[in-house]
Structure 1
Amino acid sequence: MPGKILDRYDHVPVTKENLDWAELITLDLGTYEQPGGKEKLVKQLDHAVRHVGFFYVKNFNISQEDVDRQFALGREFYALPLEEKLKYHNADDLARGEYNGYRPAGHRILGDGVKDNVQVYNIPKFDGYHERQQPPVLSDNIAEIEAFSRKCHTEVVEKLLRLFAILLELPDEDQLVRDHKYDIKGEDHLRYMHYAARSAAENEKVGGLYSPGHTDLGSVTLLFRQPVAALQILNSDGDWKWVRPQDGTITINTCDALTALTGGLIKSSIHRVHTPPADQAHVDRLGVLYFARPNNHVILNPIKNSPLLNRLGLTQNVFTELGQHLTTEQWVKARQTQQQRRHEDVKVSKDGKYTYGEKTLEIIPGLEAKIYN
């Protein structure tokens, strides 16, 4: 049942500019339970996850009303005074790789002295291991937030994991689902994310970017329809393409942990957040996202019982080549610790190339994060 009554969330109009949009497939999850439906979806998915790492899903059994309630909750949280939001922020926790709760804008230097313009509020999944105090506007609606979080997992994540298992020819299509159980300790989380509009002068200093090109660290990321155009993906030809907001869809991207488990078969999508087009550049951008990750105990080695991976010789990944056999918990902590570094020595050239200082991008010895410009 809905908690506190909130004003309706009204999405801003989409851009009227003629942008260079990415061509992405849309999976109709309404066909998932039909005879042969999963196999048809896998055929449709195959190229997208191997070469692009981005696609849409529709008919995912979460109503637009429920989605808009989450946008409204995010709006209400970010409307709180900064001093109230800071009660849920701990800089020392961030430095240790603990990312749940609030991160204010300006925590990091994006480049050339310009601070980042993004606020983040992460709500961990409700697995009983991440009890946290929430601000009243969220705690008053916590049952609704939990129901939404669980639906993201069961209605979207688990279905995609079964499709991936069929693609990998695993003997049991629930094998990956068992490695991503909602009620087992893990680092999945729901996120409200707020990008504040910046001046043209500041945007120019950082190459027109809100966030440089990167990959996500988990299994899949769900981005609910966001009408402020800003997300861009790097396609297989090396070109940045805009991701179009499509009605009634979730944008999905595949991520590092899934790449590790599949020996590189499933691509970790490369994406960035660009300054919105001119007719939206003045608009703050609010996002609702769900990040799914393997359970904390799962070792991120390539899956051994995949006939497909074995036929292709995909039996190593970037961790095992270094002699590392990281659990998800170890990987998340290492990657988040790297991501939260203050980046005070980042330089941006006039053509938008980012240069980072020594050790800034090191995740573990021998492995650095990649930033794509």
Structure 2
Amino acid sequence: MPGVIIENYEQVPVTKENLDWADLVTLDLSLFDQPGGKQELVNQLDYAVRNVGFFYVKNFNISQEEVDRQFALGREFYALPLEEKLKYHNAKDLESGEYNGYRPAGHRILGNGIRDNVQVYNIPKFDGYHKRQQPPVLEANIKEIEAFSRKCHDEVVVKLLRLFAILLELPDEDQLVRDHQYDVKGEDHLRYMHYAARGAEENKKVGDLYSPGHTDLGTVTLLFRQPVAALQILNSEGQWKWVKPQDSTITINTCDALTALTGGLIKSSIHRVHAPPQDQAHIDRLGVLYFARPNNHVVLDPIPNSPLLQRLGLTSNAFTEIGQHLTTEQWVKVRQTQQQRPRASAKIEGSKYTYEKKDLEILPGLLATVHN
């Protein structure tokens, strides 16, 4: 708020426990503008996106000070009284697929009487189509938030889109960039995400999970480093591995829309949020994320002019196989409506979550998958 000094954000120490960490590649984006650098990055990226859908990037031209500032703003928002935060929550919006603003914890019963422990605050990209009232602590810093949001797009998302275009052998490496323009209407958003620590007994009732296995619905998700270990990925051998918080990196995962556009070549990464290890179990987990999606008008059919996709015969996807040719806007609406509508709690056995079919239906013939 005007005149209010926001204290610096201090990250907690990393876990000392010997966890089963995932082996992920790190793309050095400083290579991007060097001779042969893009092809070197594509070669690294190829295996990651075909098999796991997770990787790190470093040297992305966003300073640690800028990142920490976003964590500080997220901390300040979540420190507000609940009644103040609820001014930015609209349950009817959530149920109709609109997911900007605030979602309180406890929105859903996970199972065994335990409600979810996650608060979400989504700030849509600043494309002129998503004007929203922001809480004073964020509104007072909105220009800084916009600059950070645009940097996520320009310094990271755009570069990755060019690498994907080279991987797909597209005739123009800016083809995907044109489908993801920041100032064209779309559903990209910056997110402050807060998981409240739970006791061991409650965690056990939900399989020691904060969130069961799932995929994200857009193009790529950017997760800025935070040291409370909780993110796990399902690797190509079907094993859950912890994702290590690497210094000065962003963790990237590829998502459903990109899978659709590439006929399944690029995997939508399967991940879940586990309860933190014992030495961090008492710590709330604050995250800063950026979700990139194609512009709303983009049709999510497999890209027709990719020589690679044509050679591999990847000319259909989960949407076209049920006769659908969804735009991003249509896909986001139906998927988020399915995710956010009230539903019965899951049957939980160990860490396996089972839902009724009606709770997983996105469209007739298309069900969401819970990855156990």
Q: TM-score range by the shorter chain?
A: over 0.9
Preserved CA contact (<8 Å) 1:4 1:140: no
Give 1:1-150 correspondences, 5 Å limit.
5-150=5-150
TM-score normalised by the chain length of structure 1: 0.98
2:356 matched residue in structure 1:
357
Runs of 4 or more consecutive aligned structure 1 residues displaced over 2 Å after TM superposition: 2-5, 341-345
1:113 to partner: Cα distance: 1.6
Q: Percent identity?
A: 81
**One-letter amino acid of the counterpart of residue 114, structure 1:** I
Unmatched tracts of structure 2, length 5 or more: none
| Change in 2 beyond 3 A, CA 1:155/1:27 | same
Preserved CA contact (<8 Å) 2:344 2:359: no
| Change in 2 beyond 3 A, CA 1:33/1:4 | farther
Unmatched tracts of structure 1, length 5 or more: none
Preserved CA contact (<8 Å) 1:74 1:192: yes
**Secondary structure at 1:33 match in 2:** coil
1:5 to partner: Cα distance: 2.7
Distance 1:60 1:353 in 2: 37
Distance 1:67 1:286 in 2: 13
Distance 1:183 1:111 in 2: 41
**One-letter amino acid of the counterpart of residue 249, structure 1:** T
Give 1:326-345 correspondences, 5 Å limit.
326-345=326-345
Preserved CA contact (<8 Å) 1:4 1:141: no
**Secondary structure at 1:55 match in 2:** strand
**Secondary structure at 1:283 match in 2:** coil
**One-letter amino acid of the counterpart of residue 304, structure 2:** K
1:346 to partner: Cα distance: 1.5
| Change in 2 beyond 3 A, CA 1:291/1:138 | same
TM-score normalised by the chain length of structure 2: 0.99
* Residues 41-69 of structure 1, C-alpha deviations (whole Å, 9 max, x = no match): 00010000000100000000000000000
2:367 matched residue in structure 1:
368
| Change in 2 beyond 3 A, CA 1:5/1:215 | same
1:3 to partner: Cα distance: 8.5
Provide the alpha-carbon RMSD of the alignment: 1.0
Preserved CA contact (<8 Å) 2:110 2:345: no
Distance 2:41 2:99 in 1: 34
2:153 matched residue in structure 1:
153
* Residues 157-192 of structure 1, C-alpha deviations (whole Å, 9 max, x = no match): 000000000000000000000000000000000000
Distance 1:224 1:106 in 2: 25
Distance 2:23 2:3 in 1: 39
**One-letter amino acid of the counterpart of residue 29, structure 2:** L
1:186 matched residue in structure 2:
186
